[in-house]
A and B are shown apart, each in its own frame.
Chain A
Amino acid sequence: MLLGLPLLALVWRAIGKDFFSYALSATALSALKLSLLTSIASVLIAIVTGTPMAYILARWKFRGKNALELLIDLPVVLPPSVAGLALLIAFGRTGVFGAWLNAIGISLPFTTAAVVMAQTFVSAPLFVGAAREGFAAVDEQIEEAAIVEGANEWQIFRFIMLPLAGRAFLAGLILTWARALGEFGATILFAGNLEGRTQTMPLAIYLGFESSLGIAIALSVMLMAVSIVLLGLMRRLERRSEVDTHPE
């Protein structure tokens, strides 16, 4: 009930209130474009850096592995404003690492890159977690059989691990994308809020809801629609993978 009513109320309010003129306004479109661009970039970074990390965590044993896993999982439970503050203190102009970057002319806060950084920071761990599960679930016997047949590490990864872990990957990807799309606290702290450069949909909703409730509602409904589609996809993947792993 608690979950459903606010969402229903949102849609109810949105209907008929010049919905399309708000949804297609310059502010809304700019926020939508920025959100899509940055969230997709974040997801790509998560895949590229997260897949090897997930493979290592799933397959290897080494000292400090638990600490590494904890570090990677931390941003998932960290409150976004804490994440934002941490990013600012690390990469801000006077930050721990930011000061060096500033010396070579790179300033991260208030840039679109900062938006991607904030989103990646909070969402990539979700992908790593899901991919790790996927890799770990692959039956070792299949892998061993492949080694016996003469497959090398890359071939095992490409032809056995990836296909079998594929569903978990997709689920993780969707989760990561959803989280990146919804990111607010870390973004507004680290990247700031400027239309066209750093104002993603959640930021536009927060500020719009004070100056133009119509735009905020339209954007909220759009985000909600995207979320519903993503969740639906995830559920279908989840059901299909359950069928796969329980063939009897």
Chain B
Amino acid sequence: MKRFWIFFLAVALLLSSCGRAATATPVPTTVSPTETPLPATETPVPPTATPGPRTLTVFAAASLTDSFKEIGKAFEAANPSVTVAFNFAGTQALVTQLTQGAAADVFVSANQTYMDKMVTAALVMQGTPKDFVTNVLEVIMPANNPAKLQTLQDLAKPGLKLVLEDKSVPAGAYSLTILDNLSKDAGYGADFKTKVLANVVSNETDVKQVVAKVQLGEADAGIVYVTDAIAAPTLKTIVIPTKFNVIAKYPIAALVHATQPDLAAAFVAYVLSADGQATMKKWGFTPVTP
């Protein structure tokens, strides 16, 4: 009987730990439970005249967590009986989930490349993605700046504990581009990128993980979006000059297989509207439609 208990526990643990490896995000990036939408038996009606409770599912890049939560609340207030359910994660994780069959209505990417992937996969209709904000990156340090970083040059200091996003994450790819740009400058030297990358101690799965590790003081520095630094005001920052920086364009699009296509379109319209853009600006993003 006891042996059976051990065996059962082994099966459960193996399956659960393997399952976690494939699906779980370590620090809960807020995933609101996705309720099963009502079957689309009703003809699409304008959101302001919805007959029953409906859920709009939005898959958005992790850097949009704070701003989009606010937009979600505003959208819910304007559309009673609509609940907006968010899945915030690294864009790369969202794309994998969507291409493998996850159900959502709206997709918001942190770069063009992943939105293009979605168009190629026929999950987003060609020509529908719209850039709605841009973002730039900067270096963050813990409040007490343990490594005493003053300038970008200090990123190459030996022994520094630098945390970046994995290169598959948009912010990670942007960071590498920025390092390339810096290495082309005589002031930094051609081996600047190599030196900085030698300081990387961890490649995280999204920007919020990097923010968390820096906030906890585990890392001496990280490279994230300025909007992430604004959302975590205790962090110290080093600005990356525009000539080296990357302008991250965020496209938004309704998904082809959305179960709530009218709501999806309305949500996209709201994000692009003056109110939506004002919210994004408040969180530090640069609106595309002024």
Q: Of A110, A172, A182, A209, which is within 8 A of B6 by CB?
A: A172
Report which of A84, A171, A183, A210 forms a contact with B17, defined as CB distance below 8 A: A183
Note all chain A residues with C-beta closer than 8 A to B217.
92-94
- Chain B 64-103 residues near chain A, CB threshold 8 A: 90, 92-93, 95-96
Establish whether residues B22 and A182, one from each chain, have CB atoms under 8 Å apart when the complex forms: no
**Would you call A185 and B24 a contact (CB within 8 A)?**
yes
Query: CA of A213 to CA of B26 in the docked complex: distance in angstroms?
Result: 20
CB nearest neighbor in A for B163 = A192
Which of chain B's residues have a CB closer than 8 A to the CB of A94? 216-218
Q: Which residues of A contact B15 (CB under 8 A)?
A: 3
Contact status of A207 and B22, CB under 8 A, knowing A110-B202, A184-B17: no
- Report the nearest A residue to B146, measured CB to CB: A93
Q: How far is the CA of A13 from the CA of B4 in the complex (A)?
A: 33
Q: Is the CB of B7 within 8 A of A234?
A: yes
For the complex with contacts A183-B17, A207-B203, 9 further pairs of A-B residues with Cβ separation under 8 Å are A76-B9, A92-B216, A171-B6, A175-B6, A178-B13, A192-B204, A224-B18, A230-B10, A231-B11
User: Quick check: A182 and B202 within 8 Å, CB to CB?
Assistant: no
How many contacts A-B (CB < 8 Å)?
135
Main secondary structure, interface of A, reads helix
Q: Answer yes or no: A227 CB below 8 A from chain B CBs.
A: yes
A94 to B217, CA, bound (A): 6
Nearest Cβ on chain A to B147's Cβ, whole angstroms: 11
Determine the interface band of chain B, counting residues with CB < 8 A from chain A.
Answer: 35 or more
Q: Closest approach, in angstroms, between the C-beta of A155 and any C-beta of chain B?
A: 27
Query: In the complex, which residue of chain B has the Cβ closest to the Cβ of A108?
Result: B218
Q: Which of A109, A171, A184 contacts B3 (CB 8 A)?
A: A171
B21 at the interface (CB under 8 A from A): yes
Which residues of B pack against A, CB within 8 Å? Answer: 2-4, 6-7, 9-11, 13-15, 17-18, 20-22, 24, 26-28, 90, 92-93, 95-96, 146, 161, 163, 166-168, 200-205, 213, 216-218
Residues of A near B216 (CB, < 8 A) are: 88, 92, 94
Residues of B within 8 A of A126 (CB): 9, 13
Closest to B203 in A: A193
Q: In the complex, what's the smallest C-beta–C-beta distance from B6 to chain A, in angstroms?
A: 6
> What distance in Å separates the Cβ of A239 from its nearest Cβ neighbour in chain B?
9
9 A–B contacts from the bound complex (CB under 8 Å): A92-B216, A182-B18, A183-B17, A184-B24, A189-B26, A193-B205, A206-B22, A211-B167, A241-B3
Q: Which residues of B contact A213 (CB under 8 A)?
A: 96
List A contacts of B202 (CB < 8 A).
110, 192-194, 198
Contact A92 B10 (CB under 8 A): no
**A32 lies within 8 A of chain B by Cβ:** no
Q: A109-B218, A175-B6, A175-B9 are in contact. Are A231 and B14 (CB under 8 A)?
A: yes
- From A189, A202, A211, B21 is in contact (CB under 8 Å) with A202
**Complex alpha-carbon distance, A7 and B30, angstroms:** 28
Interface string of A130-161 (1 = CB under 8 A from B): 10010001000000000000000000000000
A69 beta carbon closer than 8 Å to chain B: no
Q: How large is the interface on A (under 10, 10 to 19, 20 to 34, 35 or more residues)?
A: 35 or more
A92, closest chain B residue (CB)? B218
Kindly state the separation between the CA atoms of A88 and B15 in the bound complex, as whole angstroms: 25
Cβ of B96 to closest chain A Cβ, rounded Å = 5
B10 in contact with A206 (CB, 8 Å): no
Q: Is the CB of B96 within 8 A of A238?
A: no
Q: Does A101 contact B (CB under 8 A)?
A: no
- Which 5 residue pairs spanning A and B have beta carbons closest together? A192-B202, A182-B17, A202-B21, A211-B168, A210-B92
Interface residues in A165-201 by Cβ distance below 8 A to B read 168, 171-172, 174-175, 178-179, 182-185, 188-189, 192-195, 198
Q: Which residues of A contact B11 (CB under 8 A)?
A: 231
Residues of A contacting B204 in the complex (Cβ-Cβ under 8 angstroms): 192-193
Query: Once the chains bind, are A88 and B18 in contact (CB under 8 Å)?
Result: no
The docked-state distance in angstroms from the alpha carbon of A93 to that of B26 is 20
Please, which residues of chain B bring their CB within 8 A of the CB of A184? 17, 20-21, 24, 26
Residues of B close to A93: CB separation below 8 A: 146, 217-218
**How far is it, in angstroms, between the C-alpha of A230 and the C-alpha of B6 when the chains are bound?**
13
Residues of A within 8 A of B200 (CB): 194
CB distance from A61 to the nearest CB of B (A): 20
Q: Is A174 a contact of B10 with CB atoms below 8 Å?
A: yes
Question: Which residue of chain A lies nearest to B213 when distances are taken between CB atoms in the complex?
Answer: A192
B11, chain A: closest CB distance, angstroms: 7
Asked whether any CB of chain B lies closer than 8 Å to the CB of A28, the reply is: no
| Complex CA distance for A168 and B20, rounded to whole angstroms | 27
Q: Which of A92, A110, A178, A211 contacts B14 (CB 8 A)?
A: A178
A51 interface residue per 8 A CB criterion: no
Nearest to B161 among chain A residues (CB) is: A110
Task: Tell me the bound Cα distance from A192 to B164 in angstroms.
Answer: 11
- The verdict on A209 contacting B18 (CB below 8 Å), with A92-B216, A184-B24 known, is no
